[in-house]
């Protein structure tokens, strides 16, 4: 399903450029799109930009920049010939934040990416997109979970299929321990999920290690691990 989603999103970007960009600007827009068409984060970013142009400015996106990345969420910038726009890309969703020069005001977003406040963000990031690395220049970190994006030593996002079970050392999303600990046949409610998370924290979650990745080569293609009963 993830592959199909990305393919459809790619088609949407091409159509949005075809019908939403001035003829004279199409070569620049298409060049940027072709550069990033195999990068899922960049494709979502471009789709979000062209689907709802900020301030109704019909400018071509000429580059995609990265500000910060943590736990599968990316703080990114769409650069046009005259402007730079901040976006949050997470969970296959794209949220427009503001112009790069305005910075990020949402405290929860700042804290997630380890910025104490907007002043620190402005001091660290600045307002010139040319100083930021392009998304295609940032390689996948081998020490990053392929499924949820956490780094070595960090706890996985709950439900990540790479996380190991602290009770049996197996795959947490595939073993029976979650059901055994709750005394149920399946996790069906938010209350059960919250209770399992409490039990998991009390037992001690196993943090991510780089060597965990090779055992999960198809991250993202499996169904949600806590949404079904064990057969």
Q: What is the pLDDT of residues 35-49, one digit of tens each?
A: 988 888 888 899 999
Question: How many Å apart are CA 87 and CA 78, to the nearest integer?
Answer: 8
In this predicted model, what pLDDT tens digit does every residue of 173-226 receive, in sequence order? 889 999 999 999 988 898 999 999 999 999 999 998 877 774 433 334 444 444
Which of 122, 137, 152 is a domain's end point?
137
Does 119 lie in the same domain as 21?
yes
Q: Which residue has the higher pLDDT, 204 or 70?
A: 204
In this predicted model, what pLDDT tens digit does every residue of 113-122 receive, in sequence order? 999 999 999 9
Question: How many Å apart are CA 139 and CA 106, to the nearest integer?
Answer: 28
pLDDT of residue 231: 38
Which of 137, 154, 171 is a domain's end point?
137
pLDDT of residue 220: 40
Which of 120, 137, 154 is a domain's end point?
137
Does 130 lie in the same domain as 25?
yes
Contact 13, 50 (CB under 8 A): yes
Question: How many Å apart are CA 64 and CA 45, to the nearest integer?
Answer: 8
Q: Which of 22, 42, 41 is nearest to 32 (CA)?
A: 42
Q: Would you place residue 11 in the very low, low, confident or very high pLDDT band (cuts 50, 70, 90)?
A: low
Does 154 lie in the same domain as 131?
no
Does 148 lie in the same domain as 107?
no
Pairing label, strands 93-99, 84-90:
antiparallel
What is the number of structural domains in the chain?
2
Question: How many Å apart are CA 130 and CA 162, to the nearest integer?
Answer: 36
pLDDT of residue 39: 84
- β-bridge partners, 76: 66, 87
Does 108 lie in the same domain as 172?
no
In this predicted model, what pLDDT tens digit does every residue of 125-162 receive, in sequence order? 998 999 999 987 654 445 677 777 777 788 888 888 88
Does 226 lie in the same domain as 151?
yes
Does 108 lie in the same domain as 13?
yes
Does 124 lie in the same domain as 167?
no
pLDDT of residue 55: 82
Cα Rg for the chain, rounded, in angstroms? 20
pLDDT of residue 143: 66
Q: Which residue has the higher pLDDT, 137 or 107?
A: 107
Range of the domain at 105: 2-137
Question: How many Å apart are CA 35 and CA 103, to the nearest integer?
Answer: 26
What is the separation of C-alpha 13 from the centre of its chain, rounded to a whole number of angstroms?
Answer: 18
pLDDT of residue 153: 82
Whether the pLDDT of residue 163 is over 60: the answer is: yes
Does 150 lie in the same domain as 94?
no
pLDDT of residue 9: 55
Does 154 lie in the same domain as 100?
no
Q: What HEC string does the chain produce?
A: CHHHHHHHHHHHHHHHHHHHCCHHHHHHHHHHHHHHCCCHHHHHHHHHHHHCCHHHCCCCCCEEEEEEEECCEEEEEEECCCCEEEEEEECCEEEEEEEHHHCCCCHHHHHHCCCCCHHHHHHHHCCCHHHCCEHHHCCCCCCECCCCCCECCCCCCCCCCCCECCCCCCECCCCCHHHHHHCCCECCCHHHHHHHHHHHHHHCCCCCCHHHHHHCCCCCCCCCCCCCECC
């Amino acid at each position: 399903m993830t592959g199909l989603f990305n393919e459809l999103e790619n088609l949407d970007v091409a159509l949005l450029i075809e019908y939403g960009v001035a003829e004279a600007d199409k070569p620049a827009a298409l060049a940027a799109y072709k550069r990033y068409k195999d990068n899922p984060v960049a494709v979502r970013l471009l789709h979000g930009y062209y689907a709802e142009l900020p301030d109704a400015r019909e400018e071509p996106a000429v580059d995609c920049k990265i500000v910060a990345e943590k736990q599968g969420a990316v703080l990114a910038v769409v650069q046009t010939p005259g402007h730079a726009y901040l976006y949050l890309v997470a969970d296959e969703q794209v949220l427009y934040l503001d112009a790069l020069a305005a910075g990020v005001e949402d405290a929860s977003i700042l804290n997630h990416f380890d910025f104490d406040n907007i002043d620190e963000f402005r001091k660290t990031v600045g307002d010139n997109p040319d100083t930021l690395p392009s998304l295609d220049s940032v390689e996948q970190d081998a020490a990053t979970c392929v499924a949820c994006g956490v780094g070595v030593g960090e706890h996985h996002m709950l439900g990540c299929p790479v996380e190991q079970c602290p009770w049996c050392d197996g795959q947490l999303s595939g073993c029976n321990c979650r059901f055994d600990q709750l005394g149920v046949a399946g996790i069906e409610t938010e209350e059960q999920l919250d209770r399992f998370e409490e039990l998991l924290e009390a037992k001690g979650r196993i943090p991510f290690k780089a060597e965990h990745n090779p055992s999960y080569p198809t991250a993202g293609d499996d169904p949600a691990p806590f949404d079904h009963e064990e057969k």
